[in-house]
Amino acid sequence: MSTQDRPLTLFAYWRTSATYRVRVALALKGLKADEKIVDIDAGEHRSPEFLRINPLGAIPAMIDGEGDPLTQSLAILEYIEETHPEPPLLPADARGRARARAIAAMAAVDTHPLITPRVRRYLTGAGFDAAAWKAWQTHWFTTGLQAIEARLSAETATGAFCHGDQVTIADICLASIPAVMQVFDVKVADTPTVDRIVAALNEMPEFANADPYRQVGAPTR
Amino acid sequence: MSTQDRPLTLFAYWRTSATYRVRVALALKGLKADEKIVDIDAGEHRSPEFLRINPLGAIPAMIDGEGDPLTQSLAILEYIEETHPEPPLLPADARGRARARAIAAMAAVDTHPLITPRVRRYLTGAGFDAAAWKAWQTHWFTTGLQAIEARLSAETATGAFCHGDQVTIADICLASIPAVMQVFDVKVADTPTVDRIVAALNEMPEFANADPYRQVGAPTR
């Protein structure tokens, strides 16, 4: 476990995939953050108070001690890894790190940006009804998870988790997709390797406790 | 400059933003890659030959010596940085690296995934005509670049480039957006800081030579 010598503040909301990733990484490092809830359903990310923290109105944002707010979940994960190296969330070798980061990107770059609230707002304005939006969500969650499945099932570097038997940022980003799929009631079939790994991750308290429905502000299921 | 002791192969196409990023990073490190053209307009990314390289059919993919193909531009940039540290493409301090990675993500994660060919195919199938697609492209390029402008213009860490006076992955990812906007004939107004930095970057041969229209297979302008 890493030693925490400064207070951490995480601006968060119960159901966002990007906030989930940071919650898991902090937990795996044994770090505790004071969470400030930003209710994006109520528009609080556009409030003057939050725009002073992040002028772009995006969560998560994290403040470490005296510094400026950190933004973007992938950048925050790398920052947490660099400032609190134990236990490592990246493999020890450069090729392994590249593979873990690539799988992380398949979830956090190829998949997640397509199903965010701002995309929903645009498509609703362009005439998408609820069924069309659900079809869009389902298409991109399916495309993303089946692509990850194709890699994980084919590559010998896959182990108990995405990369061998050590939890990496690949696992954190992968698990962040089904974590929000449940919120939107979307299911993806034919991803047995993904399902096995996500089930194993969710046995760990660091992942289980980051479940959106266990967060402050979440509705009762 | 870094020393290159292994052959590099880059599977590439003239107009893709993600390929551009890798081209620039290799050039800045003084590395040379043998480019294999994958004509995605002709569907070559779905050919059996390329699917043996990357079963997901995505470019760029890069082979370094004997290893498996590396994928995902952000993961490839980090790999190049780790294996060829000079000149550095990330700041020396963890907070600076977090800022450079966050700005890079605003371009490569928040913006680029929304305007890819697969998204165009989906939206065309959902009834978007050419004008609706152009409006979509313009909206997300504008949203992305104006968000980056808001950061760059407000933060004192901005210098000649996105982070001080040293070229970082933030600059590479930022420049990859206007590099493809020209291909789609999209313009974004009111981004003076972005425009200043991109103009300075394009004065450097490493960026200028990565221009999509200077690549093999590009049409004549």
Reported confidence tier of residue B188, pLDDT bands at 50, 70, 90: very high
Domain boundary among B27, B59, B86: B86
Cβ distance of B72 and A119 shorter than 8 Å: no
The arithmetic mean of pLDDT across residues B86-115, rounded, is 97
Q: What's the pLDDT score for residue A2?
A: 67
- Please tell me which of the candidates A56, A83, A101 has its beta carbon nearest to residue B74: A101
Q: B82 and B166 in one domain?
A: no
Q: A175 and A154 in one domain?
A: yes
Cβ distance of A98 and B78 shorter than 8 Å: yes
Amino acid letter, residue B29: K
- Enter the DSSP assignment of A218: P
Contact in structure between B23 and B210 (CB atoms under 8 Å): yes
Does B1 score more than 90 pLDDT?
A: no
Q: A19 and A117 in one domain?
A: no
B182 falls within a domain: yes
Q: A63 and A118 in one domain?
A: no
Q: A189 and A117 in one domain?
A: yes
Mutate to test the interface with B, among A6, A45, A90, A99 (most CBs of B within 10 A): A99
Q: What's the pLDDT score for residue B66?
A: 87
Mutate to test the interface with B, among A95, A138, A151 (most CBs of B within 10 A): A95
| Six token digits for residue A164 | 């061998």
Q: Is A69 on the interface with B (CB under 8 A)?
A: no
Q: How many other CB atoms are found less than 10 A from the CB of residue A27?
A: 18
Q: A117 and A22 in one domain?
A: no
Tell me the count of A-B CB pairs closer than 8 A.
Answer: 110
Closest CA to A219 of A10, A12, A15, A35: A15
Chain A: closest CA distance from residue B68 (Å)? 9
Cβ distance of A76 and B67 shorter than 8 Å: no
Cβ distance of B114 and A119 shorter than 8 Å: yes
pLDDT digits (tens, 9 = 90+) for B67-80: 899 999 999 999 99
| Contacting residues for A58 by C-beta, under 8 A, at least 6 apart | A45, A71, A72
Q: A77 and A140 in one domain?
A: no
Cβ distance of A71 and B102 shorter than 8 Å: yes
For the domain that residue B140 is a member of, what is the CATH number?
1.20.1050.10
For the domain that residue A73 is a member of, what is the CATH number?
3.40.30.10
Residue of B nearest to A73 (CA): B102
Contact in structure between B100 and B148 (CB atoms under 8 Å): no
The arithmetic mean of pLDDT across residues B166-179, rounded, is 98
Contact in structure between A75 and B98 (CB atoms under 8 Å): yes
Mean pLDDT rounded to a whole number for chain B: 95
pLDDT digits (tens, 9 = 90+) for B29-68: 999 999 999 999 899 999 999 988 888 888 999 999 988 9
B3 falls within a domain: no
Contact in structure between A197 and A174 (CB atoms under 8 Å): yes
Cβ distance of B150 and A56 shorter than 8 Å: yes
DSSP chain B: -----S-EEEEE-TT-HHHHHHHHHHHHTT--EEEEE--GGGTGGGSHHHHHH-TT--S-EEEETTSPPEE-HHHHHHHHHHHS-SS-SS-SSHHHHHHHHHHHHHHHTTTGGGGSHHHHHHHHHTT--HHHHHHHHHHHHHHHHHHHHHHHHH-TTB-SSSSBTS--HHHHHHHHHHHHHHHHT----S-HHHHHHHHHHHTSHHHHTT-GGGSTTPPP-
Q: A76 and A40 in one domain?
A: yes
- Please tell me which of the candidates A72, A102, A122 has its beta carbon nearest to residue B75: A102
| Contacting residues for A52 by C-beta, under 8 A, at least 6 apart | none
B213 falls within a domain: no
Chain B: closest CA distance from residue A142 (Å)? 13
Q: What's the pLDDT score for residue A76?
A: 98
- ipTM value greater than 0.95: yes
Q: Is A52 on the interface with B (CB under 8 A)?
A: no
Q: A104 and A197 in one domain?
A: yes
Report how far apart the first and last C-alpha atoms of chain A are (Å, whole number).
33
Q: B50 and B118 in one domain?
A: no
Cβ distance of A105 and B72 shorter than 8 Å: yes
Residues of A in Cβ contact (< 8 Å) with B122: 136, 139
Residue entry with tokens 């590439």:
B12
Interface of B with A in 90-119 (CB under 8 A): 94-95, 97-99, 101-102, 104-106, 108-110, 113-114, 118-119
Domain boundary among B86, B118, B148: B86
B58 falls within a domain: yes
Closest CA to A154 of B60, B10, B54: B54
Residue of A nearest to B68 (CA): A95
Whole-number percent of chain B with pLDDT over 90: 90
pLDDT digits (tens, 9 = 90+) for A12-40: 999 999 999 999 999 999 999 999 999 99
Q: What's the pLDDT score for residue B2?
A: 67
Distance of CA A33 to the CA centre of its chain: 16
Cβ distance of A102 and B70 shorter than 8 Å: yes
Q: Is B21 on the interface with A (CB under 8 A)?
A: no
For residue A219, with 0-12 CB atoms within 10 Å meaning exposed, 13-18 middle and 19 or more buried, which class applies?
Answer: exposed
The arithmetic mean of pLDDT across residues B203-216, rounded, is 96
Domain boundary among A25, A53, A87: A87
- Please tell me which of the candidates A56, A101, A154 has its beta carbon nearest to residue B72: A101
Reported confidence tier of residue B215, pLDDT bands at 50, 70, 90: very high
Q: What's the pLDDT score for residue B180?
A: 95
- Please tell me which of the candidates B56, B76, B105 has its beta carbon nearest to residue A74: B105
Q: B195 and B117 in one domain?
A: yes
Chain A: closest CA distance from residue B119 (Å)? 9
Counting the structural domains of chain B, the total is 2
Residues of chain A where predicted confidence (pLDDT) is lower than 50 = none
Does B14 score more than 70 pLDDT?
A: yes
| Contacting residues for B203 by C-beta, under 8 A, at least 6 apart | none
A221 falls within a domain: no
Q: What's the pLDDT score for residue A38?
A: 95
Q: What's the pLDDT score for residue B220?
A: 87
d(Cα A78, Cα A169) in Å, to the nearest integer? 9
Residue entry with tokens 């229209």:
B213
| Phi, psi (deg, nearest 5) at residue B59 | -115, 155
Q: Which domain holds residue B113?
A: 94-208
Cβ distance of B101 and A72 shorter than 8 Å: yes
Q: B202 and B115 in one domain?
A: yes
Cβ distance of A110 and B113 shorter than 8 Å: yes
Strand order across the beta sheet in which B8-12 lies: B33-37, B8-12, B61-64, B70-71
Residues of A in Cβ contact (< 8 Å) with B77: none
For residue B123, what are the CA distances in angstroms to A112, A154, B13, B184?
17, 31, 23, 16
